[in-house]
Structure 1
Amino acid sequence: MPSSIDVAIFQEDTSVPVVLPSVGVDVCQMILPSNGELILEPNSAFTVSTSVSNEAFGNSGCTGQNISFKKKSPLLWADPDNWSSNSSSATPHIEKIPCEHDIVYFNPHNSFSTSVPNAQIHVGAIKFGNQTFSQKELNEFLTTDIGDQEIKSVSSNNEVSITLTIPICNDPTGCECGNQHLLDDVCQIVAKRCSKKLGCVNPIKPVGHCCLICGAYFLINYDPRLYNENTFFNVFNSSNKETLDKFKNYELNFHIKKIINGKLQLVIASNAKYVDEIDEIAHIFFKKLSSSYLKLGISDVKMFNSGPSYDIDGLTFGKMALYTCIIVLLCMLAIMFYYNGDWEVQIARFQSRGRVVHFVKFENDTVGVESIDENNERQRKTSFNNPTYGSIESTSYSQNVIDTLPDLPKSILPSKIDHMDVELVETSNYTK
């Protein structure tokens, strides 16, 4: 912190109230924001050792450093990283911010300011130090200058709506978090931090999570007449102790909570690198949940798991998919070439939108033209210009092709006819 020889600087756009230590503050010079707030503890004071020099914001007479206050803007209520709780990697992001039965604690001796979403907030209780607010006291506090600075709203009218419930869940089957309506606000913040390198083939996203993760989660139906949350927790921990001890090197985390649709959700995630054994553990739990816990009220279980692991520093899943597509494409091209042997013909066949008709080379003194229709449809009769006849006489004629070409008079045939390709030119004339 700044000492008596330093200059304490609050940046011009600092919009958070700053609580001064109760022991007092002694600085050489203090530069305040354009619109800020200093909060003094009872009987505390601060001392400025030198006066402002003629030079704007100068530090004449101050032999120490210029030290700036780092926090400029309020922290976001919907940001899970701004809350200290007993959460783990398995805890859904929506449950890492205060739920409707949680106690929210602010330390009045620290500088803080938070912006709440433009939505109704439900929490069990709010405490400032040793003071626990009632609903009336909280509403009055939010209208004070300090309350207005410390608990803000992202809405344009700066209206904050916080409703106090009770700081305990009285439902023996457990209580929902009650934050589902804030999921978009939470995920808009968290999505920027989601890891893009996941070591599993099929990443999952449990209910309330904003990011894909490696692990497993189970959606569980239960009979409210038989199910008890505390009993289930105790039985689950004791019956799986051997399994958990066996795989303790994988730093597994578990989270069980009732979710919005009335189901239970069990999430398994690891702080360590994802390995195939975690998928094995998921199948062990699925088998137990589907059989051993029926007497506890568990009636139906669905599992969603990440499957096998892979090396994220080596062959990634994206690369595997790309290489597979390339190999399949090359195999298809190889098969096509093997059966046809002519790439140009294959390309022409792909480009053609109608049926494909092949004509073989022929001599005029043979029986005629062989037509092969790949669609195996009846050949329609059409007419065409014979280029071989045009090589002798300039006058061409149309000859109807039905099954074979008729014998032509030898007087109009050349002495030697080279093998030629004949192009079929379709016309609008049809013959019966």
Structure 2
Amino acid sequence: MKSGECNLFFALIINLCLVISQTNADAVKTWMPNTNYWDPMNWDVKRMPCRNDLVIFPSSLSASIALHPGATSVKGIVLPTTGELLLSNGDLILTGLQNASGCIGEDVEFTGGEARYWLDPGNWNGPSGEPLKGGQNSPIPHSERIPCETDQVIFLNGGTFQVQLPDVPVKVGAVNIEGKDVSLEQLHELVLDDTGFHLFKGDASQLEITNELCQDPRGCICNADLHPLTWQRICSFESVRCALPMCENPIKPKGFCCPICGAAIYISFKGSWPRMKQMIESMIDYNQEKGTYPVLYHISRVGKNELQVVLRDPNIYTSASVALALVLQKQFETVSFETTPYTRTTYSGDPVTSWGTTSAIISKILLAAVLVLGVAFAINHLSNKTGRTVPAEFIQPSFLFARFENTAAEGEVEITQQAFHNPMFDIRARSVNSLEGITFKELEDQENLSEEISSQSTERTFSLEE
């Protein structure tokens, strides 16, 4: 970056930061899985049952299932021996029809009745319930995907769910169920209630609701004092989903259960955490707009005066995240905001394919070329030294033939290839030059003479046998 561009860039960032609000929004985690009848993912056919379908529930169902708020029409239902079907301002209609328009008609099984675990990072979304950006390539650490000790936990309205409560110590700031905040005592009572029994499984004694949201003006660390058993349990769920990092020297940023391909930048700060976060976001957005860096990023506070910036490629790792990290590193080394010094950057190496890394592929190609040239040189050197020709098996087979061209009306021919040696009569064939100008008539007479000699030779053979 040139000095003029650098000054303009940092002036833009500083001016932007002057208008940033210093309020710290409380983090929110939303429970994602549900046991709703109308969720297509809860059925083996990945669609809602239609009028001509036979609905089959498991023989034993511990969850409550909320039917569609409107009319639910199916051909028939196979009910479980245990469980609950909730009719909330709706009707259940059994049609018994065999042919309904727009409905194929088949047996559909409900598969969404299993309890999901609180400590599984894959069961939580952001404040509005949106999926994590990047999916398995999300830059959010696994420890931050579950509710933090200062987070508000929300279970959405208008449906049913089943949560397996943690059996190791867990702290959250607040819990909201169906739009109402509940205390720890109310949650304990709900777990023991007949209805709550179908929503929460396990013992709530390990769950602590502090009712204390983040009050630190610099921001709070997510799961700063996470219990070792809790961290181990989180990674036990995530480790089965860990993909093999397709890069050299994968990194493992703080809060990640699995090594990843990408980059992590660590920066010390002394000012406001929200303001510092906004400055870094502006820097990343600026560089992404200026260059070609389709990168996902996440900024979080991981220490008392330290923040972590994780950069990852959205799909296949192409090292774009590393390229952006190196650009940011140079900018952090140039100027420090609010006495915020850059500390270090860690990043993974080249992408890896089924053939290896890019450098390894080039090395293999060069090595193969050297080997081929070496073998060719050795064969040529051996041939020149011994005076022998290269063995026939090393030479591609070829066919020699004589090409005849009519050159005159009398039928003269021209032979352009070396004639062959005739082993039958032990006569060396004439050279090409000696046959130039010979007529087709003369060749035909010579051929008749050869046939006559051959016939006489055969007769002598028979006479000897007699």
Partner of 2:298: 255
Does residue 120 of structure 2 align to residue 72 of structure 1?
no
* Helix, strand or coil at the partner of 1:16: strand
Q: Counterparts of 1:242 and 1:94 in 2: how far apart (Å)?
A: 29
Distance 1:317 1:186 in 2: 35
Call closer, same or farther: CA 1:91–1:106 in 2, change over 3 Å: same
Equivalent positions of 1:412-423 (< 5 A) are none
- Contact (CA 8 Å) 2:313, 2:319: kept in 1 or not? no
The aligned counterpart of 2:42 is none
Shift of 1:10: 0.7
Cα distance in 2 for residues equivalent to 1:137 and 1:3: 39
Q: Distance in 2 between matches of 1:302 and 1:93?
A: 22
Q: Tell me which protein shows more helix as a share of its residues.
A: 2
What is the percentage of aligned positions where both structures have the same residue?
27
C-alpha distance in 1, partners of 2:338/2:60? Answer: 57
Structure 1 stretches lacking a partner, 5+ long = 51-60, 328-432
SS of residue matched to 1:178: coil
* Cα-Cα RMSD: 3.5
- Does residue 306 (structure 1) correspond to residue 366 (structure 2)? The answer is no
Instruction: Check the 8 A contact 2:119/2:234 in 1, yes or no.
Output: yes
**Quick check: 1:14–1:71 contact (8 Å CA) kept in 2?**
no
Instruction: Please report how far the alpha carbon of residue 96 of structure 1 lies from its aligned counterpart in structure 2 after TM superposition.
Output: 1.4
Residue 5 of structure 1 and its aligned partner are, at CA, apart by 4.9
| Contact 2:298–2:309, Cα closer than 8 Å, also in 1 | yes
Matched, 1:275 2:323: no
Counterpart residue number, 2:241: 193
Distance 2:62 2:360 in 1: 47
8 A Cα contact 2:65 2:86, kept in partner:
yes
> Which residue, 180, 185, 191 being the options, matches 1:142?
191
CA-to-partner distance for each residue in 1:96-147, whole Å, 9 max, x for gaps?
Answer: 1222233322234223212132123322332233323234433322221222
Q: 2:124 aligns with which of 68, 78, 83?
A: 83
Aligned to 1:227: 271
Number of equivalent positions: 305
Structure 2 residues not aligned, in runs of 5+: 1-47, 100-104, 369-466
CA pair 314-192 structure 1, distance change in 2 beyond 3 A: same
Number of the residue aligned with 1:15: 62
Match of 1:125 among 170, 174, 185: 174
Other-structure match for 2:208? 163
Tell me the amino acid that sits aligned with residue 264 of structure 2.
Y
2:226 equivalent to 1:178:
no
Contact conserved, 2:164 with 2:200, CA < 8 A, in 1? yes
For structure 1, which segment, 227-236 or 117-126, has the greater mean C-alpha deviation from structure 2 after superposition? 117-126
Residues 239 and 65 (structure 1), Cα distance of their counterparts in 2 relative to 1, 3 Å cut: closer
Amino acid at match of 1:202: N
| Map of 2:332 onto structure 1 | 289
Q: Hey, what's the Cα distance between the residues in 1 that align with 2:182 and 2:176?
A: 6
> CA 1:261 to 1:34, structure 2 compared with 1: closer, same or farther past 3 Å?
farther
Contact 1:250 1:271 in 2 (8 A): no
**CA shift for structure 1 position 313:** 3.9
State the TM-score, normalized to the length of structure 2. Answer: 0.57
Q: Flag the 1:10–1:62 CA change in 2: closer, same or farther, 3 A.
A: farther
One-letter identity of the residue aligned with 1:128: I
Report the alpha carbon displacement of residue 72 of structure 1 after superposing the two structures with TM: 3.2
Assess if the C-alpha contact under 8 Å between 1:7 and 1:62 holds in 2.
Answer: no
* Cα gap change, 1:260 to 1:188, in 2 (>3 Å): farther
Aligned to 1:100: 149
Contact persistence 1:103–1:167 (CA under 8 A) = no
How high is the TM-score relative to the length of structure 1?
A: 0.61
AA paired with 2:150? Answer: H
Distance 2:331 2:271 in 1: 16
Read off the aligned partner of 1:161 and give its amino acid letter: Q
Please say if residues 156 and 179 of structure 2, whose CA atoms lie closer than 8 Å, have aligned partners that are also in contact.
no
Distance 1:272 1:27 in 2: 41
